[in-house]
Amino acid sequence: MHHTPRHRPRRARRALGLALAAVLLTGAATACGTSGDGGSGASGDAAASADAGGGPKQGVVLDNPFEKPELVLTDTDGETYDLVEETRGRPTLIYFGYTHCPDVCPLTMSNIAVAKSKLPEAEQEKLRVVFVTSDPERDTPESLGEWLRAQDPDFIGLTGDFEKIQAGARSLGIALEPPAEDENGDVVSSHGTQVLAFLPEDDRAHVLYTEDVPVETYEKDLPALAEGKLP
């Protein structure tokens, strides 16, 4: 596994962001079954192959920020949640995953939770972390809420119509396929491999984190993101 230097020059990061965004638009996702992860998404592979160095993997600043998807879904209290309206003007992290994922999803959310816990309380209150399920049939509001509370009680979980979720993910360059049973009867679901960070000034995703970004990177970046700034 190759890693990026801890301090990447802004110009290089932006150049990588443009290349990575182009890869994302091909529809990268990871497929996970009940027994393990099916492999890395193309976006993570592209970032790994494009980067080399000795420090932990860093986020990528995008030249062409993504618009926030217009998703109206159901939160873990069973209430209607309009993503654009509810997170307008707030620093927001969005991730598409599912609670039965054996490794990538829980690790990603745990890393974010640990980094968030180290922020001052005022900055924690500003930040919105939204987990959108890619497996809404199994991830009911109740089960999704229970899973997220084990990570961070303030995390927002959204579920609902799969086609709506799929369209929202697609607008961010993430391809999701409906969960299906494999030949062994195990449910195989796909999920995004990216965390997208939206800044409050324009409600667009300016920073992208791939699945191999460690907790140290989130710890370094969240203070700036919580203040609405690029890390």
Residues 109 and 97: beta-carbon distance below 8 Å: yes
CA distance 3 to 138: 35
pLDDT(117) > 70: yes
Least confident of 14-28, 126-140, 160-174, 183-197: 14-28
Residue 88 lies in a domain: yes
Region 16-23: what's the mean pLDDT? 42
Q: What percent of the chain lies above the pLDDT cut of 90? A: 68
User: What CATH number is given to the structural domain containing 77?
Assistant: 3.40.30.10
Task: Give me the domain span that covers residue 76.
Answer: 10-226
The C-alpha R_g of the chain, in whole angstroms, comes to 16
Residues in the chain, overall count: 231
Residues 16 and 25: beta-carbon distance below 8 Å: no
In the prediction, which pLDDT does 31 show?
Answer: 53
pLDDT, tens digit, for every residue of 56-114? 899 999 999 999 999 999 999 999 999 999 999 999 999 999 999 989 999 999 999 99
pLDDT, tens digit, for every residue of 170-201? 999 998 988 887 778 777 777 778 999 999 99
105 is an annotated ligand-binding site residue: yes
Residue 93 lies in a domain: yes
CA distance 91 to 14: 20
Residue 4 lies in a domain: no
Q: Is the pTM value of this prediction over 0.95?
A: no
* Average pLDDT score over the chain: 82
pLDDT, tens digit, for every residue of 55-67? 789 999 999 999 9
Orientation angle between helical segments 104-117 and 215-226, nearest 10 degrees: 50
CA distance 33 to 191: 11
Residue 5 lies in a domain: no
32 is an annotated ligand-binding site residue: no
Region 161-169: what's the mean pLDDT? 96
Residue 30 lies in a domain: yes
Total number of domains constituting the chain: 1
CA distance 153 to 131: 12
pLDDT(162) > 50: yes
